[in-house]
Amino acid sequence: MGIKHGVWAVGLLLVVSCGSETVESFDVPALEESIPEVLAPGFPGVVGEVECQEVNDSLTCTAEIAGEKVSLDVEGPNGDGEVAVSFAGTLIWGAEVAQQVKQQLDADLGLDHTVSCSPEVQIARADQEFACLVEEPAGRQYKFMAQLLDAEGSFRLSLVVGG
């Protein structure tokens, strides 16, 4: 199984104009405040604490994304006082995993299942897991684990027995 639409490559470019061409007088708090909404628009809480600092006349930033502290790529400020920030990783959303699980189970079993998977989002890499709760129309519930096989969103689905 794999995710076709649920993999978000977060190589988005954030350009923030903070009014300075030099790192020393750059508005770092404004940059830190802007990063979460640009990297995961409409998903508050996915990007947590952001910290940026000057290192050797350039800016470096880290952010908590999907519960993990990651480095962000920072370029600038340029002549217009703009900074470009990007995260080269890929995010996989629990709702998209749930949709893929539902489609497969519905097709295989001929039933209309209800599926939810958590956590909400993870950074894509092999061995990350989503816990999925599947409910049949009759109300019986089953637990499955969707284990990522790669950073592209392919996963293996396993029934959790006795749990």
Tell which of 63, 91, 119 closes a domain.
91
Domain range enclosing 42: 7-91
**One domain, residues 97 and 79:** no
Q: For the segment 49-105, what is each residue's pLDDT rounded down to a tens digit?
A: 999 888 777 788 899 988 889 888 888 777 776 777 888 788 888 999 999 999 999
Closest CA to 86 of 53, 67, 63: 63
What is the DSSP-derived secondary structure letter of residue 129?
E
Tell which of 76, 91, 106 closes a domain.
91
pTM value is: 0.70
Does a structural domain hold residue 1?
no
Does a structural domain hold residue 99?
yes
**Angle, CA 38 vertex, CA 32 and CA 40 arms, to 5°:** 110
- Cα(154)–Cα(91) distance, integer angstroms: 13
Q: For the segment 9-27, what is each residue's pLDDT rounded down to a tens digit?
A: 344 344 444 444 455 556 7
Tell which of 91, 117, 136 closes a domain.
91
- Domain count for the chain, please give it: 2
